[in-house]
Amino acid sequence: MSGPHLHTGVAGNPRSPIHRLDPRTKLIGLAGVTFVVVTTPLPAWPVYLACALALATVATLAGVSPRTLWSRAKVVLPLVLFVAVFVPFFRGGEQLDLGPVHVSKEGLETFATVSVKALLGTLSAVLLGATTSFPDVLHALERLKAPKLLVLIAAFMYRYLFTIVDEVQRMRAALAARGYAPKHALQVQAIGRVATALFLRTYERAERVHLAMLARGWRQTMPRLDTLAYTRADALFLAALATPLLAIRVLL
Amino acid sequence: MSCAIHARDLRFTYPNGVTGLAGLDLRITHGERVAVLGPNGAGKTTLMLHLNALLTGSGELEVAGLRDGHDDVRDLRARVGLIFQDPDDQLFMPTVREDVAFGPLNLGLSKPEVQDRVTRALTAVRMDAHGERAPHQLSLGQRRRVAIASVLAMDPSLLVLDEPSANLDPRTRRELIETLDQIDRTLLIVTHDLPLAAALCERAVLLSGGRIVADRPTLDLLADEPLLAAHDLELPDGFDLRLMSR
């Protein structure tokens, strides 16, 4: 896995000004954009446009291509949009006739704005993930006083996800190698057994990891070797992002 | 120098009734390299966990000058480094460098000192070029070397390894033996790999049923075929002990 990106998920130019920002800055800045988008009243289109422009600028500076953004956003978006898609059919008010179905005009507008909110929110999260490695995001959360236990759980999830996925794949291969190909519902019980075995293995691993941590003098908190540095570039980034967005949001 | 390990009549029974140790006596002096051999379930891992006070049984145990149950376990864990069999259990931080820094940071050392130790430990196992990688991006042999570095960085006086050569291909295994051979500490190697024991350790103890049943120079012990067979051990086919000149 050699290449410019040692961390899974980071895309674009790793030496861009955006990638080099303090992860706290990016977390606050991009969460801020999402906050502005979400709290904006429905028909305030100029605010959405300003947020979209801000995200596009950040993406361009970071060298993250629209294709990368889209390929990642499309994993999450259908789930988010699924909820909104029914709104036009159940809203009252002025109805539009579309052949066999009637939709509410007001509902359609709601659907459009909710979709835009979802799209912008997702894109800013994707952009954070593409410019900041997951360990850095965790480090930022920790420094911003997020609950330590949650950060720790997320860190272990990231570390062991790959190990567990490997185990699942080996177990699936072992099932297939012995001719397992379920044809009806009664045959899926083997999958239940796999899940049980996986749970037990993971549990045992957790105990061993705990022992290994104690053996190296663990003191209930994760020690950090690197410190984060908040520089002028970070202040500039936050100001450049926040000022126009807040101005438009407040003035309109 | 003081005794590295001094155990007298050490006994431990697991909560489910399984006997781990049944009156173990062992004396290892500073600077020795000792192989702990024995069949599955002999109590090898139980013994290893005792050396770091991760389990405490009855009897007397003094490790690296500290008496188990009397002195601070943190001191003990700083002096005795355990290297677990599965490096995935040992490497839990997001990057190799952070993982190697985990122990020294817990010891409360200053950041520059920790940086220095991380660099030295990774160089000692020839993994200095992989500091920024995530453990899951490394091969098993590399992960095992990083696991050794993560313990070396704590600068322990006694190093305990659990099955260091398990699941390694012959070449990676040879490289690991070379790495271990250059480590100048008291070494305790728990293993099934008898040729590895012969290559690294001048002394071997045979653990069976929770006690020491033989304690001799490694080559002598490995030459005793009936003894090995009585405890489910045997040398690999075609392995000639006479070629292992020390």
Question: Which ipTM score applies to this complex?
Answer: 0.81
Looking at the complex, report in whole angstroms how far the Cα of residue A3 sits from the nearest Cα belonging to chain B.
11
Mean pLDDT of chain A: 85
- Residue ranges making up the domain that contains A189: 147-215
How does residue A111 score in pLDDT terms, banded at 50, 70 and 90? confident
Average pLDDT over residues A148-172: 88
Look at residues B134, B136, B91, B140 and name the one whose alpha carbon lies nearest to residue A6.
B134
Strand partners, A102: A97
Q: How far apart, in whole angstroms, are the C-alpha atoms of residue A28 and residue A137?
A: 11
Q: Which residue has the higher pLDDT, A50 or A189?
A: A50
Average pLDDT over residues A38-58: 87
Asked if residue A62 belongs to a domain, the reply is yes
Which is it for the CA torsion B73, B76, B77, B83, positive or negative?
Answer: negative
One domain for residues A81 and A191: no
Prediction pTM value: 0.79
Question: Which chain A residues have a beta carbon less than 8 Å from that of B82?
Answer: 212, 215
Contact at CB, B49 and A1, closer than 8 angstroms: no
Q: Measured between CB atoms, does B49 come within 8 Å of chain A?
A: yes
Asked if residue A14 belongs to a domain, the reply is no
One domain for residues A65 and A156: no
Q: Which residue of A has its CA nearest to B130?
A: A6
Question: Which chain B residues have a beta carbon less than 8 Å from that of A138?
Answer: 94
Contact at CB, A158 and B82, closer than 8 angstroms: no
Residue A227 exposed, middle or buried by CB count within 10 Å (0-12, 13-18, 19+): exposed
Contact at CB, A208 and B84, closer than 8 angstroms: yes
Looking at the complex, report in whole angstroms how far the Cα of residue A215 sits from the nearest Cα belonging to chain B.
6
CB atoms within 10 A of CB A123: 26
Q: Measured between CB atoms, does B92 come within 8 Å of chain A?
A: yes
- Given a cut of 80, whether residue A183 has pLDDT beyond it is no
- Is residue A139 within 8 A of residue A25, CB to CB? The reply is no
Task: Convert B93-125 to b/e letters by CB count within 10 Å (16 or more is b).
Answer: bbbbbbbbbbbbbbbebeeeebbebbeebbebb
Task: Convert A166-205 to b/e letters by CB count within 10 Å (16 or more is b).
Answer: ebeeebeeebeeeeeeeeeeeeeeeeeebeeeeeeeeeeb
A with B: how many residue pairs have Cβ under 8 Å apart?
Answer: 86
Asked if residue A113 belongs to a domain, the reply is yes
pLDDT in the model for residue B2? 56
Question: Which chain A residues have a beta carbon less than 8 Å from that of B72?
Answer: none
Interface test with B, best of A138, A225, A226, A228 (most B CBs within 10 A): A225
The domain tally of chain B equals 1
- Residue ranges making up the domain that contains B53: 3-243
Asked if residue A223 belongs to a domain, the reply is no
- From start to end of chain B, where are the E strands? 3-13, 19-29, 33-37, 58-63, 66-67, 80-83, 158-162, 186-190, 203-208, 211-217
Q: Which two tokens stand for residue B26?
A: 């062992």
User: Can you give the length of chain B in residues?
Assistant: 246
Q: How far apart, in whole angstroms, are the C-alpha atoms of residue B145 and residue B174?
A: 12
The one-digit pLDDT tens for each residue of chain B (246 residues) are: 455 899 999 999 999 999 999 999 999 999 999 999 999 889 998 999 999 989 998 999 998 888 877 678 888 888 899 999 999 999 988 889 999 999 999 988 999 999 999 999 999 898 999 998 888 889 999 999 999 999 999 999 999 999 999 888 898 899 889 989 988 889 999 998 999 999 999 999 999 999 999 999 999 999 999 999 999 998 888 888 877 765
Question: Which chain A residues have a beta carbon less than 8 Å from that of B93?
Answer: 155, 159
Asked if residue A187 belongs to a domain, the reply is yes
pLDDT in the model for residue A189? 79
- Is residue B76 within 8 A of residue B64, CB to CB? The reply is yes
End-to-end CA distance of chain B: 24
Longest CA span, chain A: 71
Question: Which chain B residues have a beta carbon less than 8 Å from that of A6?
Answer: 132-134, 137
Look at residues A225, A138, A211 and name the one whose alpha carbon lies nearest to residue B104.
A225
Q: In which element (H, E) is residue A101 found?
A: strand A101-104
> Looking at this protein, which amino acid is placed at residue A226?
D
pLDDT in the model for residue A7? 63
- Is residue A117 within 8 A of residue B76, CB to CB? The reply is no
Question: Which chain A residues have a beta carbon less than 8 Å from that of B101?
Answer: 223, 225
- Is residue B154 within 8 A of residue B82, CB to CB? The reply is no
One domain for residues A76 and A160: no
One domain for residues A171 and A137: no
Looking at the complex, report in whole angstroms how far the Cα of residue B89 sits from the nearest Cα belonging to chain A.
5
Convert the pLDDT of each residue in A61-109 to its tens digit.
Answer: 999 999 999 999 988 888 878 877 877 777 777 777 777 777 788 888 8
Q: How far apart, in whole angstroms, are the C-alpha atoms of residue B215 and residue A96?
A: 91
Asked if residue A16 belongs to a domain, the reply is no
* Residue in this structure with the two tokens 């993971």, named with its chain if needed: A202
Which CATH number belongs to the domain containing residue B216 in this structure?
Answer: 3.40.50.300
DSSP string computed for A71-99: HHHHHHHHHHHHHHTTHHHH--SSEEEET
Q: Which residue of A has its CA nearest to B110?
A: A225
One domain for residues A41 and A95: yes
Asked if residue A110 belongs to a domain, the reply is yes
Asked if residue A5 belongs to a domain, the reply is no
Contact at CB, A134 and B94, closer than 8 angstroms: yes
pLDDT in the model for residue A75? 87
As a whole-number percent, the residues of chain A with pLDDT over 70 amount to 96
| A212: nearest CB among B89, B94, B111 | B89
One domain for residues A53 and A155: no
The domain tally of chain A equals 2
| A159: nearest CB among B94, B114, B150 | B94
| B136: nearest CB among A134, A163, A225 | A163
One domain for residues A135 and A163: no
Question: Which chain A residues have a beta carbon less than 8 Å from that of B49?
Answer: 211
Contact at CB, A159 and B135, closer than 8 angstroms: yes
- Is residue B76 within 8 A of residue B228, CB to CB? The reply is no
Chain A positions touching chain B (beta carbons under 8 Å): 1, 6-8, 134-135, 138, 155-156, 158-160, 162-163, 205, 208-209, 211-219, 223-227
How does residue A122 score in pLDDT terms, banded at 50, 70 and 90? very high
Q: Of the ranges A22-31, A211-220, B52-61, B237-246, which one carries the lowest mean pLDDT score?
A: B237-246
- Sheet harboring B203-208: ordered strands across? B80-83, B158-162, B186-190, B33-37, B203-208, B211-217
DSSP A242: H
Contact at CB, B150 and A138, closer than 8 angstroms: no
pLDDT in the model for residue A5? 45
